Amino acid sequence: METNHHDHHHVHTVTSLNGIYIIAIVLNLSFVAVEAAVGFLSDSVGLLSDAGHNLSDVFSLLLAMLAFRLSRSHATGKFTYGFRKTSVLISLLNAVILLAAVGAIILESIRKFREPVPVDGAAMTWTAAAGILVNGITTLMLMKQQKHDINTRGAFLHMAADTLVSVGVVISGIIISVTGFTAVDPLIGLVVAAVILVSSWKLLAESLRMSIDAVPENINPEEIVSMMSGEPGVAGVHHVHIWAISTVEVALTAHVVISEPSRMEEIKSSLKQRLSSAGISHSTLEIEFAGSQCPDMECV
Model confidence band, residue 247 (pLDDT cutoffs 50, 70, 90): confident
35-39, 97-101, 150-154: range with lowest mean pLDDT: 35-39
Q: State pLDDT tens for residues 16-26.
A: 677 888 888 89
pLDDT at 46: 56
Whether the predicted pLDDT of 284 surpasses 60 = yes
pLDDT at 243: 94
Model confidence band, residue 269 (pLDDT cutoffs 50, 70, 90): very high
Average pLDDT over residues 131-159: 82
* Residue 140: CA count within 13 A, CB half-sphere: 6
pLDDT at 258: 93
Average pLDDT over the chain, rounded to whole?
Answer: 80
pLDDT at 13: 46
* Domains recognised in the chain with CATH numbers: 2-211 (1.20.1510.10), 221-298 (3.30.70.1350)
Distance CA 61, CA 55 (A): 10
Whether the predicted pLDDT of 137 surpasses 50 = yes
Average pLDDT over residues 152-177: 79
Whether the predicted pLDDT of 3 surpasses 60 = no
pLDDT at 117: 64
Most confident segment among 103-117, 160-174, 262-276:
262-276
